[in-house]
Amino acid sequence: MGHGNAIDRTVELMQDRLNLNTLNHQVISSNLANINTPRYVAKHLSFQETLRETLEEDVLHLVRTRGEHMDPADLQQAMEEPKLVETGPVDLDSEMARLAQNSVEYQFIVTMLNKKFALLKAAIEGGR
């Protein structure tokens, strides 16, 4: 992520979330496509697993005072990159619920981005 102004940062965060929603959609779609595949194990994105592992490794040093300490940028990357975890057999109802929730989140973020850009456009045009 860049270090731009607040407007850029907000748009950047929304864009990152849209990318994660897209990845999540692909994972869920793969689960649904393999629902009848013998021994296929459903997969899901897990931010909690990534954060838990980071905390267990005791690498939350925000100031790098020794060479062995993790760079804060690495911590941010670890928290932004979800792990793909196996969760057992594919359950159609569960996957469809995840897909619906993911779609609602995606549409919400797109709506918020559209509103943000409309406000920026109005500010640039000066109410003309």
Residue 78 has pLDDT above 90, yes or no: no
Residue 10 corresponds to which amino acid?
T
Least confident of 36-40, 52-56, 81-85, 93-97: 52-56
Residue 26 predicted with pLDDT over 90: yes
Pairing assessment for the beta strands 42-46 and 83-88 based on DSSP bridges: antiparallel
Q: Where are the domains of the chain?
A: 1-37+91-119, 41-88
The model's confidence at residue 65, banded by pLDDT at 50, 70 and 90, is low
Q: How far are the Cα atoms of 23, 30, 122 from residue 97, in angstroms, in the given order?
A: 16, 15, 38
